[in-house]
Amino acid sequence: MSQDSKPKVLIIIGDAAETVDTMYPYFRLFEGGYEPVIAAPEKRTYQMVMHQNKPGWTITKEWEGYTIEADIAFADVNPEEYLGIFFSGGRAPEYIREDEDLLRITRYFFAKDAPIASVCHGVEIPARADCVKGRRMATVPKAKFDLEVCGGIFVDEPCVIDGNLVSGRTFWDHGHYMGHWMQLLDDARTSHAS
C-alpha cells in the first residue's frame, strides 16, 4: 500500500440492509481516512430500509430507506486487500448469510484477527460462518438465539469489545461502539505501515 492510498474496509450489505447501520460506518470510514467498500451478492443498486420499534407494535416497523450502490460482489472480493470488515444490520443478513463467498470472506477476517464490527442482525453472518463460538457480542435481542445457538455469548450492552471484535445492538448504539472499532482500524493501519 502506497503512502497516498487509503486502506480499504468492507461494509457487508444486501437488500433490506438497515439505512443508518450502513450509512453511519460508511461516512465514519471516510472521516477516518479509509476507503469504505460496499460489498454485496452482486454489483448493483440495493434498497436499504429503516427499522424502528413503533409504540403499540409488537414487531419492528419497516420503511424504505435510501438506495446504495455495491462497489463489488462477494465473489470478487480478495479479503487480503482489506484492513477490516463491518456487518450491517437490517433484514439483509438473514438472506445473504448462506452465500459461500461471504462465508469465505468472513472466516478470513476472524482467522486473521482483523478489526471486525457488527450491529443488530449483522451477527447472523459470523454466526453462520461458525466464527462466534465463545465470543461475546451485542446484537438486537431478537437475534440472541442466532448468536447463542452458534456458541456465542449474548451481551445486552451498547458496546461489546471482544479482542478484535466490536459490536452493538442497534443503530442507537453507533456512538458507543464505532469509535472503538475505528481505533482498532487505526492500530491495524499503524502496524501495517511499520
The reported pLDDT for the residue numbered 192 is 83
Is residue 16's pLDDT more than 90? yes
Q: Where do the structural domains in the chain lie, given as residue ranges?
A: 8-193
pLDDT of residue 91: 95
CATH fold of 8-193, please?
Rossmann fold (3.40.50)
- Can you give the pLDDT at residue 28? 98
121 part of the active site:
yes
Summarised one tens digit per residue, pLDDT across range 133-165 is 999 999 999 999 999 999 999 999 999 999 999
Residue among 6, 9, 14, 5 nearest 70 (CA): 14
Closest CA relative to residue 126, chosen from 162, 180, 179, 174: 162
Q: Average pLDDT for residues 113-120, to the nearest whole number?
A: 98
> What's the mean pLDDT when you consider all of the chain?
95
Q: Binning pLDDT at 50, 70 and 90, where does residue 60 land?
A: confident
What are the pLDDT digits (tens) for 82-112? 999 999 999 999 999 999 999 999 999 999 9
**Per-residue pLDDT at 62:** 84
Q: Tell me the residue type at 89.
A: G
Given the residues 121, 174, 176, 180, select the one marked as catalytic. Answer: 121
Nearest CA to 185 among 109, 72, 102, 78?
Answer: 109
Burial grade of 21 (CB within 10 A; 0-12, 13-18, 19 or more)? buried
DSSP the chain: --SSSPPEEEEE--TTBBHHHHHHHHHHHHHTT-EEEEEESSSSEEEEEEEE--TT-SS-EEEEEEEEE-SEEGGG--GGGEEEEEE--BSHHHHHTT-HHHHHHHHHHHHHT--EEEEGGGGHHHHHTT--TT-EE---GGGHHHHHHTT-EE--SS-EEETTEEEESSGGGHHHHHHHHHHHHHHHHHHHH-
Grid coordinates in use for 112? 486473521
So what's the pLDDT on residue 4? 64
pLDDT at 57 over 90: no
Distance of alpha carbon 123 from alpha carbon 90, whole angstroms: 11
